[in-house]
Amino acid sequence: MIKIITVCGNGIGSSNLLAMKINQIAKKNGIEVEARSSDFNAALGEDPDLFVTVDEFAKQFPENKKVAIVRSYADKKKISEDILPVLETLNKG
């Protein structure tokens, strides 16, 4: 199972919506994930397989963290285009 933390400023709205969308996309594609949301500061203390966020927050993560960038917190088509190749790669590894 791939452990994912979605990140936004407060860890409540946008990142929670993103986590739900990622869970749906993964399930539809037969990939087991556990996606949950977090605010940026709390996320820094976590060690998931992957962080997922928008470019604004991705730039702030240390280089040793695996971060995937999505163009939207809500647009399922864009999220799928951005995250599915990453999930498929992690699922094979």
User: What's the pLDDT tens digit per position in 49-90?
Assistant: 999 999 999 999 999 999 999 999 999 999 999 999 999 999
pLDDT at res. 75: 96
Q: Give the other-Cβ count within 10 Å of 74's Cβ.
A: 13
pLDDT at res. 73: 94
| Residue 2, CA distances (Å) to 27, 41, 81 in order | 12, 21, 18
Angle between helices 76-92 and 14-28 (to 10 degrees): 60
Residue with tokens 């647009």: 75
Q: How far is CA 81 from the centre of its chain?
A: 13
Q: Is the pLDDT of residue 42 over 90?
A: yes
pLDDT at res. 22: 98
| Percentage above 90 pLDDT, the chain | 95
